[in-house]
Amino acid sequence: MTDTARGLAAALGGEHVVLDPGVLAAYRHDEAEWAPYGEPLALVRPRGTGQVRELVRYCLEHRIPLVPRGAGTGLSGGANAVDGCVVVSFEAMNAVLEIDREERLAVVQPGVVNDDLRAACAEHGLWYPPDPASSPWSTIGGNVATNAGGMCCAKYGVTRDYVLGLEAVTGRGETVRLGRRTAKGVTGYDLCGLMVGSEGTLGVITEVTVRLRPARQPERTVAGFFDSVVTAGEAVSAVVASGAVPSALELVDRHCLEAVDAWKNMGLSADADVVLLARVDTPGEAGDAEAAGVRDSFAAAGATWAAVSADQREADALFDARRLAYPALERLGPVLTEDVCVPRTVVPEMLARIEKTAAAHDVLIANIAHAGDGNLHPLIITPAGDERARTRAQRAFEVILDDAIALGGTVTGEHGVGLLKKRGMSTELSPPVLDMHRAVKAALDPHGILNPGKVFDGAEAPAS
């Protein structure tokens, strides 16, 4: 056992510190196949905020990098280990501490799985909306640290819209409570909001208070088949222009449907190159009219087939296929996942540019999208072991980022900067804005021990 490991075990209690290389191997990286990762020194599974504070203080004193980790479903390399780091995992901090029906809020530990929180809320007639497609696995801590989006965000917003308050241990080793429990509150700067989406680089989140909504209304599903992604993109713009606000508007292309079918044998239709899936949860006749309007927008934009589904099971199967698209494609070869977000009016133009980029770089690009948000996930797939294809894919990835910026968009809609979007971030943000980021990092993590190398490069945080 090294001196550092001995010191950690003494500070935290040996049973919470894992050094077994076999176990550590499973904590080296997230789901971003292309992002580099290092070898952790140790894994720590704290049981409470006090232990997290002790851990941060130990790492601060010994200048050991510390990488917070939820379920490791991230798609930007944000939870990837750096050499000699301590990975802190919240598997043992997974309790729903409180659900307050009258105030419509819940207080949770960071390791609670997204679907588990939703199920716990449903028992009280309440609903936690943010629903990343990774909801069966991803944790609230990871969702908050990445400001995760999801399927219903087109109507109900992203994780940030639901975080009222949180507790975190900063890179200074201080435990702070940020935000509030009240419906409104503007005391001081929005430091709670700052922590949301900070990707483990400003603080280790140890507790989260989330806003809840009343239980959701039943939804109708509208499906449309299209013979090109660009036509499907035009249908998205048509739905937005019509004033309809679907509770989901997702795009899945043939590559994804075929990959899911080959894996799960779900009997998915092969009649379309692209499928748009919308959900409408407006109650009563107004909802019927809204669903019919979405169908008509699909048809007017050039759908080869469009209908309000009468078969709930079939509708659910299509949404399940959408959720499974990413892991299904991963079975075909290494996947480089994009996450650009563009104004919804330019979705067709962005999709056309992605097609051109695929052809120009001779790479296979499959498409899934939270199309109603303009949040596109072109998935660049390369044959395993084909280094030339990998290089072409990397170039295509960067072209897509530049195209998104050129169209008034952003390089990451929900997955975060992590390791994969650092070049994109420095292109998108102006030098003064990047300086503001560095100043915030230096204030909260002066020695750069929290998730170093993520979002920023190198020694961006000068020691104070």
Ligand X SMILES: Cc1cc2nc3c(=O)[nH]c(=O)nc-3n(C[C@H](O)[C@H](O)[C@H](O)COP(=O)(O)OP(=O)(O)OC[C@H]3O[C@@H](n4cnc5c(N)ncnc54)[C@H](O)[C@@H]3O)c2cc1C
Residue numbers at the binding site for ligand X (CB under 6 A): 30-31, 67-75, 78-79, 90, 110, 132-134, 138-139, 141-143, 145-146, 148-150, 199-200, 204-205, 326-327, 414-415, 451, 454
CA-based Rg of the chain, rounded to a whole angstrom? 22
| Least gap, CB of 245 to ligand X (angstroms) | 19
| Least gap, CB of 133 to ligand X (angstroms) | 3
Residue 80, both tokens: 């990837």
Q: In this complex, which beta carbon is closest to ligand X, that of residue 349 or of residue 460? A: 460
Nearest to 339 by CA among 394, 424, 415: 415
Q: Label the pairing between strands 42-44 and 86-89.
A: parallel
| Least gap, CB of 153 to ligand X (angstroms) | 8
Residues 88 and 81: beta-carbon distance below 8 Å: no
As a whole number of angstroms, the distance between CA 29 and CA 74 comes to 9
| Least gap, CB of 205 to ligand X (angstroms) | 4
In which residue are the tokens 């944790």 written?
Answer: 139
Q: In this complex, which beta carbon is closest to ligand X, that of residue 303 or of residue 449? A: 449
Q: In this complex, which beta carbon is closest to ligand X, that of residue 140 or of residue 230? A: 140
Residue 233, both tokens: 């993109």
CB within 8 Å of 285: residues ≥ 6 apart: none
Burial annotation 365-400 (CB, 10 A radius, 16+ → b, else e): bbbbbbbbbbbbbbbbbbeeeeeebbebbbebbebb
Q: In this complex, which beta carbon is closest to ligand X, that of residue 206 or of residue 297? A: 206
Nearest to 441 by CA among 203, 202, 205: 202
The backbone torsions φ and ψ at residue 449, rounded to the nearest 5 degrees and listed phi first, read -90, -20
| Least gap, CB of 435 to ligand X (angstroms) | 22
Q: In this complex, which beta carbon is closest to ligand X, that of residue 293 or of residue 374? A: 374
Q: In this complex, which beta carbon is closest to ligand X, that of residue 281 or of residue 339? A: 339
| Least gap, CB of 339 to ligand X (angstroms) | 8
| Least gap, CB of 195 to ligand X (angstroms) | 8
Distances (CA, A) of 116 to 137, 186, 396: 9, 31, 37
Q: In this complex, which beta carbon is closest to ligand X, that of residue 146 or of residue 221? A: 146
